[in-house]
A and B are shown apart, each in its own frame.
Chain A
Amino acid sequence: MASSIPVSVPADAAGLEAARGGRVARRTRQLVAAGAAFVALLTIMAVAAPWLAPHDPVRQSLRARLTAPTLEAADGRAHPLGTDHLGRDVLSRTIWGARVSLLVGFAAVMVGGLVGAGLGILAGYRGGWTDTIIMTMADAQLAFPFILLAIGIIAVLGPSFPTLVVVIGLSGWVDYARVLRSQVLVLRSREFVDAILALGGAVPRIVARHILPNVLSTLVVIATLQLARAIVLEATLSFLGLGIQPPTPSWGGMIQEGREYLDSAWWISIFPGCLLLLTSLVVSRSGDWLRDLLDPTLRSE
């Protein structure tokens, strides 16, 4: 799978041990709430960027370039996180950068979820060759570094928002597909499904009534973990110069731009990088906590 993706390892057995007692379950709930609050805050920051950011994120001031974090720069403005190589305000760009991360992240999770769920249900429902083909595709995808394919595809289509969303989304379909496929297989072995089908029941209804409710919590857990993955993957691609076009700020792009100045103007890379790290940490951890809370069976996989 693509690089540096926070795949979750089976969670702490300690958590399991204690989760039987309600005290720790309550604590986990609180942690999940805290994670959700963080994401909500981040979302508010992204949405309210035009009002929150002290400066226009693309406004340059060459005379004040590479200014260290200061409250009074050469251009007479405050740049609490400094300016970049074109004199743009790092704080404002970091705030605006959350937009790209979240937008691409959520959209990619949707794409991955839809494709993965669709293929998973198809594989489980049709079985036979369909199943073999889909599962072999899943194997194939896991068998080589996705980021190579991503670079290739972006080279074909050019870096743009839809391309990024689709590429990143497709990098994560396998997990959803596996869960839904096994759920469908479980259901198919039950007789009532055959009965419904015999009575002329429609497949979408079966999916909606019998499959989705059973896997919803699992899907939420996967989606949360995938969100962290997607955000990191977007930043990685931007870092490699394959992300959103300038001057739109994105965290990965800022880290890349600041790399040449790491020695003299570390703030260009480090501030957006730290926010990226924090986001990845909190979101992926929230996924783990959610799993502990919602779906203790998943951890034994």
Chain B
Amino acid sequence: MSGLTRRELLKAAGVAGAAAALPSALAGPAGAQGTQKRELVVAQGGDISKFDPHFSTSANDIRISFNLFDNLIARHPDGKLQPSLATDWKLTNPTTWTFKLRHGVKWHNGDPFSSADVKYSFERTWDPKQNTRVSTVFTTVDKVEAPDASTVVFTTKKPDPLLAARVAFYGGQIVPKKYLEAVGNDTFNAKPVGTGPVRFVSWTKDDKIVLEANPDYFGGRPDFDRFVMRAVPEMAPRVAGLLKGETDIITQLPPDQGERVNGNPSTRVAGALYAGLYVLAVNSKVPPLDNPLVKQALSLAVDRDLIVKELWRGRGIAPSGPIAKGDNHFDTSLPALKYDPKEARERLKKSGYKGEDIVIETTAAYMANDKPMAEAIVAMWRDIGVNGKVEVVEYSVRAQKNRDKSFKGLWWSDPTSTLSDPDGMFWRLLSPGGPQDYWRHARFDELGEAARFSVDEKFRGQAYKEMTRIFLEHLPWIPVIQPYEDYGLQKHLEWTPNPNQQFEIRRFAFKFRRA
């Protein structure tokens, strides 16, 4: 901890002590109104593994990489796409997008930014020699051209209504061509150079990352001198550190802790409704889960309101179908999924279910509340006569089962809506050949494919409505909750969380309240 933070801590402790000694005194919230801090300290639940944005897509990694680097387009916390390295973009014909780049942007090492960097970055993602981990993000793109220093033209293979959204998410970060070609991937990863609001200073693995403000940032110098990201895997110390004032923001605040954070005079909870859903994905190929009636019974037996109210302390909503609230084409008229144990029992009877084991393979603490929810849901299933079982698998085992498509029954999935659209959400996962391709339905597939390549939003809306109806009958997923992603923060800062797990510290989203 820096001297500054420790002083803050001591000051706060002194005030708290005085308040306790003089209960009649006006116990103003210590340091809640303003601060002189020049250092932003954030604690997240795990360390990063790499800086190179094309080599990682994990939530911990992108909290850093989206701030070291910029995309052509940025998705702001309100869900809207805004200019970033590109000041303007338009669809010049159904398969051509033209981007105008910002002038005068410099890399952290002083090199000028140009269209050559953009072309290089996108080509790097799918270059087989580079072996990146984001090689499939831009499969709709045919080629990227740079006719002049401030123009980039994308040609897509078919009309792609979501290209702008794709460019704004992972894989779309722009990396420095000249520097990378000069030093190679390893040095770039060890000493990353971007255009973003913060510059790399140091990294102590499993401890902390230190970054400093980029004074020349085109979006304005961020409201701090230093940004320290600490890795604090356990929840208790994360919360304790916030309450003591050692950290300014903590990520992954469990709902059970919200009360304490809000009850503390100098801290508060800030949440964003997760841009995605928590669902139990179903292997619809194994009996009895190939029977829609069984799946309907399983869904009807889940008391989502109880789960939201007790396990989530109200920090979430019950979903109505496969589309997350906040996404394009979310149907506000659709009711939340019903809890009806009587009906569930009847459908189970009608299905001819003979007491086979139905297994949820859950991770423990990979998603918030995953294991407790799995145990609670299995208990609810047992109440209607389903032989439910929970098996805890490690995250790496889950990843392997995901690749081999070898889940025994159901498992947790937290599909993020990467593009704020059903296409980047359920269709990305449930489409033929997708990672959760365990169930096929001719009409569903036809509509999904048509909607992916249509630039007619009205048609797309109709298609997703019909797909939702089919989904609700066959339930390739059993949606359980759309939770809030909560953060704990000091009241001396203003910050808006981003629903899609990006951690935005640019000027427009973050500032300290100055005393």
Contact = CB atoms under 8 A, between A and B. Distances in A.
7 contacts: A62-B306, A63-B306, A66-B256, A85-B311, A245-B392, A246-B371, A263-B236
A21 to B, nearest CB: 52
A86 B236 contact: no
Interface of B: 234-236, 239-240, 254, 256, 260, 306-307, 310-311, 364, 371-372, 375-376, 379, 390-392, 394, 396-397
Nearest to A264: B256
A264 B11 CA distance: 26
Q: Is the interface of A mostly helix, strand, loop or mixed?
A: loop
Given A62-B311, A264-B256, A85 B236 contact: no
Contact of A247 (B240, B306, B390): B390
Contacts, number: 52
Contact of B236 (A59, A60, A241, A259): A259
A48 interface: no
A246 B391 CA distance: 7
A86 B372 contact: yes
A241 B310 CA distance: 24
A260 B235 contact: yes
Contacts of A62: 306-307, 310-311, 376
Contacts of B240: 263
B375 A86 contact: yes
Nearest to B234: A259
A83 to B, nearest CB: 12
Contact of A261 (B256, B310, B371, B392): B256
A259 B397 CA distance: 24
A262 interface: yes
Interface string A54-67: 00001110110110
Contacts of B311: 62, 65, 85
A155 B392 contact: no
Given A62-B311, A65-B310, A241-B392, A246 B375 contact: yes
Interface of A: 58-60, 62-63, 65-66, 85-86, 155, 159, 241, 245-247, 259-264
A155 B236 contact: no
B372 A85 contact: yes
Contact of A60 (B235, B256, B375, B397): B375
For A245, A260, A261, which residue has the most chain B Cβ atoms within 10 angstroms? A260
Contacts of A241: 364, 392, 394
B237 to A, nearest CB: 10
A242 to B, nearest CB: 9
B194 to A, nearest CB: 35
For B235, B379, B390, B391, which residue has the most chain A Cβ atoms within 10 angstroms? B379
B376 A245 contact: no
A66 B234 CA distance: 19
Contacts of B376: 60, 62, 86
